[in-house]
Structure 1
Amino acid sequence: MTQAIVVEGLRKKFGPREVLHGLDFAVDSGTVFGVIGPNGAGKTTTMRCLLDIIRPSAGSISVLGQDPRRAGTALRRRIGYLPGELHLENRTTGRRVLEHFAAISGPVDPRYVNSLADRLDLDLDRQTRKLSKGNKQKLGLLQAFMHKPELLVLDEPTSGLDPLVQQVFHALVREAVEGGATVFLSSHVLSEVQQAADAVAILRDGEIVTVSTVDALRTAAVRQLRFISTGTEAHDVGALLARVPGVANVALRELPADGHTAGTVEATATLSGHVQHLVQELARLNLTDLVLEEPDLEEAVLTLYTGSSQGNDNGHNHSQAIRTEGAHRA
């Protein structure tokens, strides 16, 4: 598989302060690559370096097989970009704004523009100064998608959008990828990246904590386990759980005989990794209750953040900046 983006040793300084500390990552063509991190982690700076809006202090960047510092406008026409803060001329209409961007990006099919506007429920003839934050975001998305670019670079793309429009956005991303495009998006909302991305880079304080697939994050995430068994001594249940890889934080409690069968044990624990060994061992018990929660990707990401910042109070603050919206996918 070819790679749409390759970044090696990317560093960026603003004066004496370095905000990107040697980033290395690659994005396969035809995939969705998400960068998750709290505000100030370096997501926007990374994107601006990819697009040659700002120049890196060190390192190399390849975008669609070209160095963005030398490729010029020909490369930019192959890219759709939504900035994190979209500034629009107030004394014009959305349609005139799109005509301006079309003159820069190249030929645009007006029928496709109108189709996107209908799907996003956006009135293109309305004055931009009268648009709400959500409608301005819709206009920004439309200008990014309208010329069907090979690469979409989207900074916090669902900011200000209501849930129904967010679903339209995710559909547009899927359609773009099915058409061969690559999508690079950033967010501090975990559920957004979880729903859209094939691969995820977790960025903290200008450094990549890890690059992983969503499935791998889910596999590594911690599940909460609770069960009740009968006819077994507590020490036997403990010995059984000790044989299961990934089980930790075991707590056992023998329930009183009143209302319970003799030898009733309640067990709680955490599980990381696959469940197969756990299921095989639990089959040896007479269970009356069993709860194994779905892995929580938010918890997995927070573990990566706090685990990389032990002894640093800022790590806790950054982890608190990540949030989720809506339900986690099963």
Structure 2
Amino acid sequence: MLKSVGYAAQTSDKPLQHFSFERREPGEQDVQIDILYCGVCHSDLHLARNEWGGSVFPMVPGHEIVGKVAKVGSKVTKFKVGDTVGVGCMVDSCKHCENCDDGYEQYCDNGFIATYNSEEKQTGGMTYGGYSNNIVVTEDFVLRVDDSLDLAGVAPLLCAGITTYSPLRHWGVKAGHKVAVVGLGGLGHMGVKLAKAMGAEVTMITTSPSKVSDAKRLGADHVIISKNEDEMKAARNRFDFILNTVAVPHNLDDYSNLLRRDGNMTLVGLPAEPHPSPSVGVLIGKRRSIAGSLIGGIAETQEMLDFCAEHGITADIEMIDISTINDAYERMLKSDVKYRFVIDMETLSA
């Protein structure tokens, strides 16, 4: 077995702490990765505190991973030792259902294997994530990373980046489209950058006037303060597509009314409680639609990474030592980060 160290939640009500554990040795089709950076996603906190239920302890969170290949199995053909690579939210799937065959492993009919808190097929044990010094992943779920980018800023692309890129691509956002992004946080700031790079005219919709200048720095052409009734009324029937990143319950009708005929609003934030039911009349009046979207498949995630490399896109981050992860969680609860914490794994002691 491969000796590993990281930070783990031992129970849902205790701080994360240093943890020694073992991973499987790389098999014929596995890639062993020395982790350089790992982003901190809000879902890490939800799972570590068992806020969604189903958490298994001890748990090593982390699914925004960038590192270097340290070892490859005898049948690995896509990677070699020394390559810079990434691992996102999935490390395996059934690979034979309709969705997997179509390249949508995130919608695997049998459930994809998450990077942590999932049962590993190879050993029957639980997967452990990226708050650690290494990881072993089958090569089909490892992604190429362009060394020309800031690697710490690449890490959040493996979740926040693909979560926003996938619906933008699915709904065909392109030059000339008017796109709104609701909520300026870890997801929203990536939505602005990506939509702008796709050529769209981008509007940020936020509750906070203090975020106007930052939204424009990130690439937004316009900013609407959602608490301003006049601004919201003036924006009715304007947008081809709305990317809604807000993860707390809110009135969806306020935003559906901003869509043009045949416009779509896609939800990527997952609130703990349901949104109020949308008005059917608001939708059918202009053939509008509301959809949801979950990360992206492996091929699309690679496409996203290549797109970001081409356009020089990375996440805005704050680098932290792993010993401060519990403080980072508390700050994340207060939205006190612009816009993603990333752990420097050099700060992890053996």
Length-normalised TM-score, structure 2? 0.27
Length-normalised TM-score, structure 1? 0.29
Task: Find the structure with the greater CA-based Rg.
Answer: 1
Q: Which has the higher helix share?
A: 1
